[in-house]
Structure 1
Amino acid sequence: MFGNDPLTGRGAELTDIGRALGGDGKFSGAVIAGPAGVGKTRLAREVLARADAAGTRTKWVVGTESARPLPLGAFTGLIGDTGPNPMASVRNIVNSLVAQQQKDRVLVGVDDAHLLDGLSAHVVHLLAQSRGVRLVVTVRTGSSEPDAVTALWRDGLLTRLDLGPLSPSATHDLIEKSLDGPVDTRSAQRFWKLTGGNALFLRQLLKDQVAAERIRQVAGVWMWDENVAVSSSIGDVVGQQLGRLTPELALVVDTLSLCEPLQVDVLGELVNRADVAVAEQMHLITVERTDAGLFARLAHPLFGELRRATAGEMYLSTIRGRLSRRLAHDDRDMHRTVRRALLLLESDLEPDPELYLRSARFAMTLLDLELAERFSAAAAGCGVGEASSVQAMNMVLLGRGEQAEVVLRQLSEAGGGDQHQWATVRAANLIWMLGNPTEAWAILEGLAASDETPAELATRHAIEACVDAVSARCSVAAEKARAALASEDLPDFHAMMASVALVMALGAMGEVDDIGGVADRALARAATSFQASHMRFWFGSVHARACRLTGRIDDCVTSANLLADSAREVPGLAYANLAFLLGHAALVSGDLPRAAKLLHEALAGVEKHGVTTGLRPASCFALAETHAKLGEPEASMAALSEARQCVPVDYSFMHTGLSVATGWALAAGGALAEAVAAVQAGAVAAAERGQPTHELACLQAAVQWGDASGAPRARQLANSLDLPLANTIARHAESLSAGDGRGLLAVAGEYRESGDRATAADAAAQAAVAFSAGQEGKRGLYAAALAQELADECGGLCTPALRSPVVPVPFTGRQREIAELVAAGLSNRDIADRLVTSVRTVEGHVYRACRQVGAASRADLAAIMRAGPGRRP
């Protein structure tokens, strides 16, 4: 897994070194300078390996502490015994290498030049002065290197390249190459944060997590949500001095390992202030001045992991208790309160149930539901009755529908003033977590038969609106949701439920005027609510879907990015919802590789947390479309198969998504007729349910696959809806039906302006075919080039429209269908069986299609279809 030692994130540095070695006479090579572990040696080795592969003769010299006392110690491997006259040996080495340079190019790598003895450094300096031999030299910054080494860049002999840590994206790439598979973004960020981008630390830490099985593959994605596993190797790499600390210095480091950053004044009350100063001088900690005073933190994040792994639990519990007592009056915000509560929970002090309960709510607001579960369980263990209600709400948000149902049933049947409210929460859990709106409706009907206060009526309407929304009763859902949101007494949880239902309904009906305002109010309320904070990303996905249905792609992307920026860290299930939201935004805007990565992360999160919400089918729908658009039929069909298994029977609002996903998966496999039939059936069903934008989505997909039969209906919808997207889709269908290249090109521009690059590419490709059929070759070439440009912007878009060859006479419908199936890899017998026709008929269509595009064979036809209009094989 780690044998290939991948070099990642150093492309710019390799280019700079290559330029310095290029022989323009300005430099004789490069010095790679940087702190320990950033990858200086690895980069230099890569430069020499590439030079060796290109035919350059290479030499590798290493400076070491053991060889430093010896004259020419670094070069003993080249010259053996230096003899009585070391200076003669210096001349021999230089002359030998320069002579070799006259025969062949010679590149000398000098590693750890700061450890060279004086004569060895003198040799390197003379070689650089000779301007013959090329050099790549590594130097550790902060060390005392010989003057001859310093002169290499000071005198302009070698260019100096200061090598910094790996960037977060380069760290992510390195991990994925090492593990040979995708890694979820949170895990990669955690590795980067702990290692600071130090390549040496990163490789060792990654090996430790794999060896301890702390990082595992879930649904094909590597995820690291466990505690850090540390080995003796990482201790040797990061800081050997940690194992030799005095008890006083150890206390400084261990205190910060449990709570950082910490004000120096506070730290000085818990440890000896003089020891804090010594720890800073030894680079165990860093102290920085801010407007709030001096703050101390560990010099490296891994110091804390190493110390916690080796210190005794009773010792750490005592330190946590002291910290908790000292921070008792520092609860200025939620983060500080949660931090103090966690210290107390893991200390040897008496519990504080009220603090635990308050911190459980704060942790929910801060999105850490697992921590909230610990706090609420601790409060319940202390006999706090209110803790059970917090636990129940937390279970709902965690997606643990079955567990929540047991607790919510008890709360809703226990009597008391909260019985009605808990019954509505139970109904919401049945709808969203257990996929059972029928039983939820029965509960709500029972409440409707009782005497309700105006506030209770509002809570019931909020949840009833959800049942109506998932059942595709859009106008009724919108009416009830608005009535609920008009109540000033509506709890935050119910307000979010009503907002979800309202945005779903408005998006389906194409009523865009209120969507933005509803979303802004809901998200503002959720930001400070323990009941609703965790739902903000789920709500964001509902809002994004409504934006897509109504053609507001930029709003979809902007909203997703703002939500991603709304929290410093997004743990657990919340990240799965956020990954879906960002993945969906990437899909609709045409960033397909990013969409695939994020959507797989969302699905892995669903798998890891074992939730039964609609997040799984929604992720599968989006993945089926993404892989289809990337020309990956097997992956698309696999996502569709999973989606079909997890769509709740009564979720009518998901049926359109299932129809479109089915169509894309079929289209990716070449079955265009079946794909069109799937979305045509979806359009009819959406019309019957009163979901005009859902119907439009189906008609648009059909047009993208070459079917313009829905043009009259698309025009009817455009005339009844005040949506620019509806008019664009109608014009798309009408232009395709008429073979109007100019109309299709104009439609491509409209899609592109709206942010939908993928559909714009399809329309441009269809314009290219139409122009070619109309003997407008130059316009056809322009449209084909535009289609390819958009396809490239999308990261390799490969749709049926882009696979249609640009020829003077386009394929007939049956020819194109058979050509698509050939490109998908089906044999003539397979095609005949699928189309219920004879093999001879298929062979005839394949023959005529080959002649039409100038293909010499069936394989050539498949290659032409896959290449598309802008790339001829």
Structure 2
Amino acid sequence: MIVGAAGVGKTRLAREVLARAETAGERTNWIVGTESARALPLGAFTALIGDAIADPMPNVRHLINSFVAQQRQGRVLIGVDDAHLLDGLSAHVVHQLANTHNARLVVTLRAGTKPPDAITALWKDSLLARLDLEPLTVDATRAMIETALGGVVDARSARRFWKLTGGNALFLHQLVKDQVAAGRMRLMAGVWMWDGDVAVSQSISDMVGRQLHELTPEMAVVVDLLSQCEPLAVDVLCDLVGRGDLEDAERMRLITIERSGDQLMARLAHPLYGELRRAAAGEMYLSKIRGRLAQRLARDADADSQATVRRALLALESDLPPDPQLCLQAAQYAMTLLDLDLADRFATAAASAGAPDALGVRAMNLLLLGRGPQAENVLREIGEGGAAGANQWNTLRAANMIWMLGRCNDAAALLQNSGPDTESPADAAARTAVEACVDAVSARCGAAAEKATAALKSGLLSDFHAMLASVALTMALGALGRGDDLTTVAQGALDRAITSFQASHMRFWFGSVYARACRLTGRTEECVAMVERLADSAREVPGLAYANLASLMGVAELMRGDVRSAAKLLHEALAGVERHSVRTGLRPATCFLLAEAHAKLGEAEAAKEAIVEAQKCVPPDYLFMQTALSIATGWSLAANGCVNEAIRAVKSAAAQARQREQPTHELACLQVAAQWGDVSGAVRAREIANDLDLPLAKAVAQHAESLAANDGEGLLRASSDYQAMGDRATAADVAAQAAVAFTADQQRKRGLWAAALAKELSDACGGLCTPALRSPASQPLTGRQREIVELIVAGLSNRQIADRLVMSVRSVEGHVYRACQRVGASSREELTRIARAGPAATR
């Protein structure tokens, strides 16, 4: 017996059981209880009886006997849908069939109804096992949507569907269909996203809103008030409607009322009721409703910033005259709550209504939204208007040039032309903070650290400028390898971000550079802890904020080796970036990470696409991104079979990083080169390890030196070191290299153990397919053979390989033949399979 609420999927599940039984060759019958047939004796079985019913009792015996006879001819499965609607005799037949044990039954029953006693007895007397079908969970909702759409849906959209439908599968199916049909659900960067209002169709209205079709005027007002703002205190509602109307609405299950502390709170009985009413009501009527509600809420003190934002939005969308101070305050609160799009609406309304500080708030909000050109226009307007604090506005304009427009040289010129004669100490500190950003972006790490430290120590910075200084300092400390100093900076920055409207959204901005600094210094656990803290402080965040958060969560997963989860999160982040037309550093940074994730999974084409996108949007002035771009490009090349080119790319980047005095950037390049088999960086890696007090540096040096010496035990120690730092993906690569080294040294048992470790780590990371994990350990390949095998795995033909390597096709065929001999492959296809299996192919 399958029991559950309407729409949770009882009938679908029962039908699936019968369909599988039919496929297995069993006989099936499908009986449906309906309201119309309930008045007839044996009404559910009318189609089986055929003749008019005069005396029902013989027909009961006839029915039972006919089903028993079917059982003798083969196994029978009977489905009974909506058993709560069966008439007494039909229910009796079902009960008797269950008692005979000659026919098997699948019965569905709606929860909360009063079925016939015979149906209740089915599970009470243990004649049938009872399965209570619960509404879909968030994860199950997302899986169902992705199945319906045939693609990935972002977590925020899935959660929104789940909240609106209550996990009801029937409602969910229709709502998804409606949003796609109305163009509200769109495919962005390969991910389905739902933004904007709910599109309401007649189908969903008929399913959910039958009770709403015949509301009295008084009932309509109750529902409409809650459709605009819920939950609402009953005391507030009683000032706008009669208490009796509330009681009637609760009795009709239009609303629910629950006690919260010393207050009674009302909300709609189903989330979709509000959407249906908003779609049906006229805008002028709803404007009046919002106005009445805003005026009533204004009589009481707002409980918190969310209450102020809620009241301000009601007033903004009502027939009331604009309140400039309320809009300005709501804009700041909305920024604190990470809803920058709503903050822009409030700030624009406040400026139009004459609030004196509104333009400045709007300029800062536009900057944080990534709308650099618009922010530049507003800031220029402020400057031309002769507003007080010209030097501060210049620093804000310079920050916009650096981070949103990618014009670092223009920003430096603007700061240089700011008049020191008119600067206050606070102005000078703000200018120094922004100059630190110029230095950090331009890869002048020593100068950036010095200026940012001085600006923070002044104690004169606004929250916005303090966050800028923290960003610059974190970038510099990460590049210089001063990992121990990062924790203090991060603590202060995140504490500030949680409490200040100027800094609130910058938590993600800071988080991204802190995550990069943690990766450069091997601090995986610290990065994960920071991301978890940010996620806890930003639950249910709006669109752009979620894109930032998804990118950060993707970084954390990539650092600790859950590469497949990282790729999914990073695709969500890129979809959000695309949806909000972001052109800031978030776009290329996300593309770098996506390229690496896809490359590590062996998804060569996707890695290449990510790099092409990244190369289009990295500003020329962003020297600090060049190392990350080179490493991501290298991963893409390696995934596409061009390992030697990948090594050359990162070795060139390592040389540049050394010239710029970025030791951890250089170290990162040497690390990935070693993962791809390069042994030339061992000496330099040890020099960096001696200069930096970082476990990561020591692990890279151990890795490179052991690889150069073909030392399997040393490579296993390096693999263990990487694991200790949380980097399972690199540990898998190094363990695979150890397997090859052991095998070459005739240590077969140790080679098998290292290969098993590499396989275990690779599986834990989502199934890696890197150059190291594509190297068979049974008979190690020569350099040229390995190069050709990598290109074969990437899908190139012998002719394409010959053109790439500038050799004859016959030479390529010879190398392929000898590689097959070494690893025991009988064909090109088997060689590819063995290469993909890597060291584990020896087991």
> Could you tell me whether the CA contact under 8 Å between 1:473 and 1:689 is conserved in 2?
yes
The reply on whether 1:600 has 2:571 as its aligned counterpart is yes
**Structure 1 residue aligned with 2:220, among 250, 253, 260?**
250
**Structure 2 residue aligned with 1:804, among 746, 760, 775?**
775
Change (3 A) 1:802 1:78: farther
Aligned residues: 842
> Could you tell me whether the CA contact under 8 Å between 1:82 and 1:89 is conserved in 2?
no
Change (3 A) 1:345 1:54: same
**Structure 1 residue aligned with 2:401, among 430, 434, 438?**
430
CA distance in 2 between partners of 1:373 and 1:280 (Å) = 38
The reply on whether 1:671 has 2:638 as its aligned counterpart is no
Deviations 1:81-122 (CA, angstroms, capped at 9, x unpaired): 265443333233333333333443222111111111122212
> Could you tell me whether the CA contact under 8 Å between 1:412 and 1:418 is conserved in 2?
no
CA distance in 1 between partners of 2:490 and 2:51 (Å) = 79
Q: What is the deviation of 1:488?
A: 1.9
Change (3 A) 1:340 1:696: same
**Structure 2 residue aligned with 1:446, among 417, 436, 441?**
417
Determine the structure 2 residue equivalent to 1:91: 61
Q: In percent, how many aligned pairs have the same letter?
A: 67
> Could you tell me whether the CA contact under 8 Å between 2:31 and 2:44 is conserved in 1?
yes
Deviations 1:383-407 (CA, angstroms, capped at 9, x unpaired): 2232111111111111111111122
Instruction: Say which SS state the counterpart of residue 61 (structure 1) adopts.
Output: strand
CA distance in 1 between partners of 2:670 and 2:74 (Å) = 67
Determine the structure 1 residue equivalent to 2:289: 319
CA distance in 2 between partners of 1:419 and 1:829 (Å) = 65
One-letter amino acid matched to 2:161: F
> Could you tell me whether the CA contact under 8 Å between 2:802 and 2:809 is conserved in 1?
yes
**Structure 2 residue aligned with 1:205, among 168, 171, 175?**
175
CA distance in 2 between partners of 1:725 and 1:78 (Å) = 76
Determine the structure 2 residue equivalent to 1:41: 11
Q: For 1:785-796, what aligned pairs fall within 5 Å after superposition?
A: 785-796=756-767
Q: For 1:635-654, what aligned pairs fall within 5 Å after superposition?
A: 635-654=606-625
Q: What is the deviation of 1:532?
A: 1.2
> Could you tell me whether the CA contact under 8 Å between 1:219 and 1:603 is conserved in 2?
yes
> Could you tell me whether the CA contact under 8 Å between 2:718 and 2:731 is conserved in 1?
yes
**Structure 1 residue aligned with 2:582, among 595, 611, 625?**
611
Determine the structure 2 residue equivalent to 1:23: none
Instruction: Say which SS state the counterpart of residue 108 (structure 2) adopts.
Output: strand
> Could you tell me whether the CA contact under 8 Å between 2:777 and 2:842 is conserved in 1?
no
One-letter amino acid matched to 2:487: G
Q: For 1:813-832, what aligned pairs fall within 5 Å after superposition?
A: 813-832=783-802
The reply on whether 1:290 has 2:260 as its aligned counterpart is yes
CA distance in 2 between partners of 1:865 and 1:555 (Å) = 36
Deviations 1:773-810 (CA, angstroms, capped at 9, x unpaired): 22222222222222112111111211111111121x31
Determine the structure 2 residue equivalent to 1:543: 514
Determine the structure 2 residue equivalent to 1:702: 673
Determine the structure 2 residue equivalent to 1:11: none
Q: For 1:442-841, what aligned pairs fall within 5 Å after superposition?
A: 442-447=413-418, 449-807=420-778, 809-841=779-811
Instruction: Say which SS state the counterpart of residue 159 (structure 1) adopts.
Output: coil
Q: For 1:124-523, what aligned pairs fall within 5 Å after superposition?
A: 124-328=94-298, 329-447=300-418, 449-523=420-494
Q: Which moved more, 1:266-275 or 1:43-52?
A: 43-52
Which structure 2 segments of 5+ residues have no match? none
**Structure 2 residue aligned with 1:51, among 12, 21, 36?**
21
One-letter amino acid matched to 1:721: L
Q: What is the deviation of 1:660?
A: 0.4
Q: What is the deviation of 1:417?
A: 3.4
CA RMSD of aligned residues (A): 1.5
> Could you tell me whether the CA contact under 8 Å between 1:770 and 1:780 is conserved in 2?
yes
> Could you tell me whether the CA contact under 8 Å between 2:209 and 2:276 is conserved in 1?
no
Q: What is the deviation of 1:275?
A: 1.0
Q: What is the deviation of 1:871?
A: 5.4
Deviations 1:672-697 (CA, angstroms, capped at 9, x unpaired): 11111111111111111111111111
Q: Which moved more, 1:766-775 or 1:422-431?
A: 766-775
Which structure 1 segments of 5+ residues have no match? 1-30
One-letter amino acid matched to 1:319: I
CA distance in 2 between partners of 1:872 and 1:395 (Å) = 58
Q: Tell me the TM-score normalised to structure 2 length.
A: 0.98
Determine the structure 1 residue equivalent to 2:86: 116
Deviations 1:308-343 (CA, angstroms, capped at 9, x unpaired): 111122221222111111111232311111111111
Determine the structure 1 residue equivalent to 2:819: 849
Q: What is the deviation of 1:184?
A: 1.5
> Could you tell me whether the CA contact under 8 Å between 1:364 and 1:394 is conserved in 2?
yes
CA distance in 2 between partners of 1:100 and 1:39 (Å) = 29
CA distance in 2 between partners of 1:94 and 1:475 (Å) = 90
CA distance in 2 between partners of 1:244 and 1:83 (Å) = 38
Q: What is the deviation of 1:569?
A: 2.4
Determine the structure 2 residue equivalent to 1:69: 39
CA distance in 1 between partners of 2:495 and 2:262 (Å) = 29
Instruction: Say which SS state the counterpart of residue 78 (structure 1) adopts.
Output: helix
CA distance in 2 between partners of 1:131 and 1:742 (Å) = 66
> Could you tell me whether the CA contact under 8 Å between 1:699 and 1:710 is conserved in 2?
yes
One-letter amino acid matched to 2:430: T
Q: What is the deviation of 1:449?
A: 5.0
Instruction: Say which SS state the counterpart of residue 514 (structure 1) adopts.
Output: helix
> Could you tell me whether the CA contact under 8 Å between 2:436 and 2:469 is conserved in 1?
yes
One-letter amino acid matched to 2:177: K
Determine the structure 2 residue equivalent to 1:13: none
Instruction: Say which SS state the counterpart of residue 60 (structure 1) adopts.
Output: strand
Q: What is the deviation of 1:413?
A: 4.6
Q: What is the deviation of 1:167?
A: 0.3
One-letter amino acid matched to 2:681: G
CA distance in 1 between partners of 2:802 and 2:576 (Å) = 42
Instruction: Say which SS state the counterpart of residue 565 (structure 1) adopts.
Output: helix
Following TM superposition, the consecutive aligned residue runs of length 4 or more in structure 1 with deviations greater than 3 angstroms are 82-85, 412-417, 448-451
The reply on whether 1:81 has 2:44 as its aligned counterpart is no
One-letter amino acid matched to 2:794: A
CA distance in 2 between partners of 1:440 and 1:846 (Å) = 56
